[in-house]
Amino acid sequence: MKHADYFKNFLDNTVNLPQWQVDLLSSRVESIYKCLTADPDLKPLIKKKIPQGSWPQRTIIKPVNGNAFDGDVMVQLVEDPDWADDLKKYGNAIYDVLHKTSPYKNMPHGRKCRCVYVNYAENAMHVDIVPFVLREDGTQWIINRDDNKWERTDTDGFTDWMKTKDAIANKRLREVIRIMKFLRDHKNSWTGTKSILLTTLLGERVESWRKVLDSGYYGDLPTALFHIVSDLDEWLQARPTKPIIMDPSGSGTSFDHRWTQETYAHFRNRIHAHAAEIKAAYEEEDFDESVKKWQALFGDGFKAPKGSGSSSSSSGSTKFSSVSSAAAAASTSTVKHSGRAG
């Protein structure tokens, strides 16, 4: 059974990052950017900022046990030929401004391979600032300070790819990604698989031709979850050896360095197990047994919303709904999620 109302409640109250935290992230990124552009030496080098990662892709979720959640922002700098032999200077230029300016100089901050980071009070949030340059041919390049080399990226292209895939999936792909992130992080189902890999692997399984054969293939969240994870499982089971995963934006960059064969094998096994669990819960015809199977997968947060009935007559709960078509449409329509950014 689908239990669409349970899924909505699960997303709204257990999975999604609350909107006030998304707004706080946006405000803090804006403050950091204002700090950087207020510096007389750095200001002439700065062109613009671009949100990156799960924040603009709207796949950000609540962190585990109150741990920090993070936001990434790319800051475009003018390419300086004098820095060609020492690419660390791009990150250093951003770090130096934060290091001398309040309040950031009194906060935990530092430099990592591709970014400068700022940690906020009690490690509740951290922001990664990624310097990049935009070349005349329109390509984006970030800096690997550890290896002193340029790396191709396409943040806008990846976000556009995500929007396209989400539209094909009737706006359900982002929700599926958040749920699978929840399994990874909160249920500790698997480790070592970065969000960029999980997002790409799930998104690449979404294909428009499937809706030609079955118009309801991504018709609601539980159905989309069932089909996308099943399709990913089938794809993974056909590939016992770690495949090369390319950036779907078309940048030509491989994500191969982000995991090992051991990590891949563990992820492959866990997705196989989850695909079977999702199938069993989705196809279970007994209401209570179906709820128990979903709860075994997701935990106690998967429950009926307050004030609703908990019987099989509740909206959207049955696999083949017996409620009116209007009510069914309402129960499976796209809803506003508090954890979405943007």
At 191, is the pLDDT very low, low, confident or very high (cuts 50, 70, 90)?
confident
Residue 289 neighbours by CB under 8 Å, 6+ apart: none
Instruction: Please state whether beta strands 109-111 and 46-52 pair in parallel, antiparallel, or not at all (unpaired).
Output: unpaired
What mean pLDDT comes out for the span 161-171? 96
- Tell me the pTM: 0.86
- The full set of domain ranges for the chain reads 4-15+157-332, 19-154
Residues near 74 by beta carbon (within 8 Å), at least 6 away in sequence: 49, 50, 51, 52, 129, 130, 131, 132, 140, 142, 155
List the single range of 112-121, 280-289, 299-308 with lowest mean pLDDT: 299-308
How, if at all, do strands 109-111 and 149-153 pair? unpaired
**pLDDT at residue 199 is higher than 90:** yes
Give pLDDT tens digits for 2-17.
999 999 999 999 999 9
Give, in words, the CATH class of 19-154.
alpha beta
Burial of 336 (0-12, 13-18, 19+ CB in 10 A): exposed
